[in-house]
Amino acid sequence: MTRILDVARMHTIAWVSQLAWPWGIMAISLGVNLLIFASIDEAAPGKNTTGGLVSIYIVCSIVAATSISQVFPFALGMGVTRRTFYLATVLVNVVQAVVYGVLLYLLNLIEGATGGFGIQLRFFRIPYVDVDNGLLQIAVYAVPFLFLNFVSVFVAVWYVRFGMNGLFGAGAALILVTGLLVALITWQGWFGDIWQWLSSQHQVSLLVGWPALIAAVAALGGMAAIRRANA
């Protein structure tokens, strides 16, 4: 376990890119949104929602992917096993998701208490994603980090293991399979049923359950792929 923590430091030691960029870019996004919405004279009711929050998730997933392509060869060079490196990576991503989830929840509370920063802005309290239970709200914020990060970690591991051709090959295969699936669904007229199934799902399943499940599958897939990867 100590070794996993020592290896986890490889991800966090240069904390500027790990921490400062995601939050910095989100802060800029928030600032820009505040300026825009403050300059609109009379925002129509319900039209004061923004999707700027997505920036922190995207930046984090990019950081997660680059940390594989950059830290993995270094870790291997320092005599760290693939297994230890991967477990340390999982640990960093899970802890980060929980901490960031809590921080976003606090910002959510601030936004609520200040009347949307005085201008009824809904940057953190996005409709549907805004739930009334505190713990659940933290999970709702945290799970998309896990989902995006583990999918991008899996893609990065795939790239390290199989190279550019492997990456594009898998991408091509994915497009082909999805395309055929969509064609089949359209041909059979199954879209209505699928929509019905989606809308019958509980909010918690859609926001937390299913993304967490996919994140777990991606994490296990990354573990399997990295065991035979060479830097």
Partner 1 sequence: MSVVAAAGLTKRFGEVTALDDVTFTLTGDKIYGLLGRNGAGKTTLMQLITGQNSGTSGDLMLFGERPYENERVLSRVVFIKESQTYPTAYQVRHVLSLAKRLFPNWDEDFAQSLVDDFDLPRKRKVRKLSRGMLSALGVTIGLAARAPLTFFDEPYLGLDAVARQLFYDRLLADYAENPRTVVLSTHLIDEVADLIEHVLLLDRGKLLLDAPSDELRGEVVEASGPAAAVDEFAAAHQALHREQLGGAVRASLRGSFDDAERTRAKKLGIDLAPVSLQQAVVRLTTERTNAR
Q: Which residues bind partner 1 (CB under 8 A)?
A: 3, 6-7, 9-10, 13-14, 16-17, 67, 70-71, 73-74, 76-84, 227-228, 230-231
Q: Residue 174: which of 158, 190, 193 has the closest Cα?
A: 158
Closer to partner 1 by Cβ: residue 7 or 90: 7
Exposure class string for 107-140: b at 16+ Cβ within 10 A, else e:
bbeebeeeebbeeebbbbbbeebebeeeeebbbb
Residue 62 CB, shortest distance to partner 1, in Å, is 13
Closer to partner 1 by Cβ: residue 80 or 148: 80
Residue 75 CB, shortest distance to partner 1, in Å, is 9
Closer to partner 1 by Cβ: residue 79 or 127: 79
Closer to partner 1 by Cβ: residue 202 or 228: 228
Q: Residue 66: which of 99, 25, 22, 101 has the closest Cα?
A: 22
Alpha carbon distance 48, 189 (integer Å): 37
Alpha carbon distance 89, 153 (integer Å): 9
Closer to partner 1 by Cβ: residue 4 or 212: 4
Residue 83 CB, shortest distance to partner 1, in Å, is 6
SS3 190: coil
Residue 78 CB, shortest distance to partner 1, in Å, is 5
Residue 14 CB, shortest distance to partner 1, in Å, is 3
